[in-house]
Amino acid sequence: MARTKIALAGEGGHGVQSVAKILVEAGYEAGKQVLYIPNFGVEQRGGVSIAFCQIADEKIGEPRYSKADIVIMVSDRAIDRCSTYVDENTTVIYDSSVCTKKPEVKAKRIIPVNANEIANTNPELGARVFNIIILGVILEATKVLDVEDIKNAMEHALGKKFEAKPELRTKNHKALEVGMSLLKEATV
């Protein structure tokens, strides 16, 4: 059975739960079995936020897992909290422009990306699409969904904002493409 286990972690306010919701919505709409378990403290901002996702071709029997296939870490505290979900079969991706340290784990691969820096310095993007860059990284890393599935789920999640400000749709689609290309460049 093809099943992909993803742990995505960052600080409250980074949008990791929003990314997870878009990811599982896209999987559901694509006919996959999906599971999403949010884990965050009582703080809306400033606490570590972890999203556990699974996307599978067949029924998911066990909602929890001890080791992930992909772990995305977008803060130092996320590195500390999520290292336990990593083993020698895990791909770890961390934002080197946010994290001041590299994950010290035994993993299949450890890949740095600079999503936050790109979001903040690219005038076509902006800080608010940082999480969508991360979504593009996940999409490229997992290859379990098509980009159109993600764009449709983004439309569902963000459609009202897109209607109010059409330029947001363009920014978010560009951020998704940037995230996908970040991982392609990092793994060449």
pLDDT tens digits in sequence order for the chain, 188 residues long: 589 999 999 887 678 899 999 999 999 999 999 999 998 765 555 678 899 999 999 999 888 899 999 999 999 999 999 999 999 999 999 999 999 999 999 999 999 999 999 999 998 898 888 899 999 999 999 999 999 999 999 999 888 888 898 899 999 999 999 999 987 766 54
d(CA 135, CA 126): 15
- As for how many domains the chain has, the answer is 1
pLDDT digits (tens, 9 = 90+) for 106-129: 999 999 999 999 999 998 898 888
pTM, full prediction: 0.89
Domain at 103, CATH number: 3.40.920.10
pLDDT of residue 187: 56
pLDDT of residue 114: 92
159: containing domain: 3-186
pLDDT digits (tens, 9 = 90+) for 124-133: 898 888 899 9
d(CA 95, CA 85): 17
pLDDT of residue 188: 45
Residues 6 or more apart whose CB falls under 8 angstroms from that of 6 comprise: 20, 23, 51, 52, 53, 54, 55, 68, 69, 70, 71, 72, 138, 142
